[in-house]
Amino acid sequence: MPTRTVIVIGGGIAGLATAVRLIQHGIKPIVLEKRPFLGGRAYSFTDSDIDSEIDNGQHIFIGACDQFQRYIGDIGASDQIRLESRIEFPVLKGRETSWLRAKKLPGPLANLSVLLGYRHVGIMGKLRILRGMASIKLTRLSANSTLDMVNLDDWLRAHGQDNETIKNFWNLIILPSLNDDTTAVSAYTGIELFKIAFLGSARNPALGIPLTGLSKLVGDNARQFIESHGGEVRTGVNVTSLKVENGRIVGVRTANNDMIDGEAVVSALPAAAMTPLIPGGTVGRDDFFTPAESVKTAPIVAVHIWYDRPVLTENFVAVLDSPLQWVFNDTALKSRTELGQHIVISLSGAWKWQDRSKQELREIFTAEMEKSFPLAKKARVNKFTIVKMLEATFRVVPGSRRTRLPQRTPIPGFYLAGDWTDTGWPSTMESAVRSGNLAAEYIANDIGTGIQSSVVSSGSRQPE
């Protein structure tokens, strides 16, 4: 039986991954989640009108998301995700569809071969993109690189890119991956993304898809694992402050005034929810935690349309020169056998849409669907829903790297997890899992592990 107990505040992916990794170290986690359900920013809910489960937003991952996939395996859910073998997706521009499809070649050559059959960029543009990729390969990213102070658009233009390549290639990848435009993200993060995705193995940029609702995938499966290995998960528990004894964090106080003790406490919260918990607050202070005050967020709006018949023949399509951005065939992705089709339009960097009414969005997006997918003209819309996530991801604007704090804080007994902490990854499920793994490793180092559990993951590693 575990002899040590650690409190994890937050039942999103970072908190759940922290708990799973603590268990793998023989430490008992108690996860405290404010809301009645787990999953944080990756959850699903049942729409009573149609008795169907809806994700709060389409979540995809790529092959390079190793720790996320290992985490899904650890909680016994590998059969609930699917990873393609290489990158392959259709891109619609006007009425013309062209595929970004990797050929069966070794390593990065496979990823670069996507350009061969891609007709939305001309031959000169393709040469430009190859030049850009070569510059990315030659760029060394060091911890104090000034590239974080430059925006990616400027960097790309300084390395031979033009409007055509930026719009039809670079931003096609950047916008959904970083939830922001090339003009807004730091060159450092953009270069890092392309290094990982396109200059690595053919598996790295391959798209991965959840096959079940997000709450089941990341929430229920984790709860089952944690509880069946001696941990606890308590939902509906709002943590309001940390308990300090002799300068050390030894527990938390909840909104109900309950005290819950532990040998260490992990905040697996977004930055804005973490800072109010710091003893003494951060206002007027200039310390380790101060940069977290500057973490900014970006919205995602998901448009759900239920048609009475199929309108999309592919599983997903990226759309250029249209507000549609990315269109997913949820019916096919979740292998449902309904007669009609549930379409999800995922709008990244959605400032333009976040304040529009449901009726306005319905008019705009049903019309756009008809323009891009002729089958939608004959189809009837049975139901229409919008999910707005105003703080969907943290932004990777120039200068934002300094806002990403390490998982071990200067306050003894207090650790950080959360996608926004320093993981080297943008705001993703992979970053959330990595942050949780790092926090748990630091704790195991600092307070010592309990009895070695039989469930230690092959991915367990010591932090530097």
Ligand X SMILES: Cc1cc2nc3c(=O)[nH]c(=O)nc-3n(C[C@H](O)[C@H](O)[C@H](O)COP(=O)(O)OP(=O)(O)OC[C@H]3O[C@@H](n4cnc5c(N)ncnc54)[C@H](O)[C@@H]3O)c2cc1C
Phi/psi zone of residue 246: left (φ > 0), alpha (ψ -120 to 50 degrees), beta? left
Q: With binding defined as CB under 6 A, does residue 41 bind ligand X?
A: yes
Q: Which of 429, 438, 440, 443 binds ligand X (CB under 6 A)?
A: 429
Q: Which of 213, 270, 310, 450 binds ligand X (CB under 6 A)?
A: 270
Residue located via tokens 């070569």: 134
CB-CB neighbours of 94 under 10 Å: 12
Q: With binding defined as CB under 6 A, does residue 440 bind ligand X?
A: no
Query: Whole-number minimum distance, CB 11 to ligand X, in Å?
Result: 5
Q: Which of 7, 14, 242, 379 binds ligand X (CB under 6 A)?
A: 14
Q: With binding defined as CB under 6 A, does residue 10 bind ligand X?
A: yes
Closer to ligand X by Cβ: residue 9 or 156: 9
Strands 316-320 and 414-416: unpaired
Residue 399 phi, psi dihedral angles, 5° rounding: 90, 0
Residue 168: DSSP 8-state = I
Only segment of 90-98, 137-145, 422-430, 448-456 that touches ligand X (CB under 6 A): 422-430
Measured CA to CA in angstroms, residue 456 lies from 53, 213, 233, 452 at distances of 33, 27, 20, 8
Residues 227-266 that bind ligand X (CB under 6 A): 238-239
Q: With binding defined as CB under 6 A, does residue 59 bind ligand X?
A: yes
Residue 173 phi, psi dihedral angles, 5° rounding: -90, -40
Q: With binding defined as CB under 6 A, does residue 393 bind ligand X?
A: yes
Give the burial string for 1-39 (b: 16+ CB within 10 Å, else e).
ebebbbbbbbbbbbbbbbbbbbbbbbbbbbbbbbeebbb
Q: Give the number of residues in contact with ligand X, rule: CB under 6 A.
A: 37
Q: Which of 2, 5, 8, 15 binds ligand X (CB under 6 A)?
A: 15
Measured CA to CA in angstroms, residue 266 lies from 6, 58, 201, 240 at distances of 8, 28, 34, 14
Query: Whole-number minimum distance, CB 129 to ligand X, in Å?
Result: 24
Query: Residue 139, SS3?
Result: coil
Alpha-carbon gap, residue 55 to 329, rounded angstroms:
13
Query: Whole-number minimum distance, CB 297 to ligand X, in Å?
Result: 10
Residues 93-152 that bind ligand X (CB under 6 A): none
Closer to ligand X by Cβ: residue 269 or 379: 269
Q: With binding defined as CB under 6 A, does residue 403 bind ligand X?
A: no
Alpha-carbon gap, residue 227 to 233, rounded angstroms:
7
Q: With binding defined as CB under 6 A, does residue 296 bind ligand X?
A: no
Question: What's the alpha-carbon Rg for the chain, to the nearest Å?
Answer: 22
Q: CB of 354 within 8 A of CB of 23? A: no
Alpha-carbon gap, residue 255 to 313, rounded angstroms:
50
Q: With binding defined as CB under 6 A, does residue 369 bind ligand X?
A: no
Q: With binding defined as CB under 6 A, does residue 407 bind ligand X?
A: no
Q: With binding defined as CB under 6 A, does residue 428 bind ligand X?
A: yes
Query: Whole-number minimum distance, CB 233 to ligand X, in Å?
Result: 12
Give the burial string for 219-252 (b: 16+ CB within 10 Å, else e).
bbbbbebbeebebbbeeebebeebbbeeeebbbb
Q: Residue 272: what residue type?
A: A
Cα-based angle 439, 442, 445 (whole degrees, multiple of 5) = 150
Query: Whole-number minimum distance, CB 380 to ligand X, in Å?
Result: 27
Q: With binding defined as CB under 6 A, does residue 44 bind ligand X?
A: no
Only segment of 32-40, 123-131, 146-154, 397-405 that touches ligand X (CB under 6 A): 32-40
Residues 66-85 that bind ligand X (CB under 6 A): none
Only segment of 20-28, 34-42, 95-103, 313-321 that touches ligand X (CB under 6 A): 34-42
Q: With binding defined as CB under 6 A, does residue 300 bind ligand X?
A: yes
Q: With binding defined as CB under 6 A, does residue 42 bind ligand X?
A: yes
Q: Is 355 exposed, middle or buried, given 0-12, 13-18 or 19+ CB atoms closer than 10 A?
A: exposed
Query: Residue 454, SS3?
Result: coil
Q: With binding defined as CB under 6 A, does residue 40 bind ligand X?
A: yes
Q: With binding defined as CB under 6 A, does residue 206 bind ligand X?
A: no
Only segment of 6-14, 136-144, 156-164, 282-290 that touches ligand X (CB under 6 A): 6-14
Q: Which of 20, 27, 54, 60 binds ligand X (CB under 6 A)?
A: 60
Only segment of 92-100, 142-150, 371-379, 429-437 that touches ligand X (CB under 6 A): 429-437
Residues that bind ligand X (CB under 6 A): 9-15, 32-35, 40-42, 56-57, 59-61, 238-239, 268-270, 273, 300, 302, 389, 392-393, 418-419, 427-430, 432
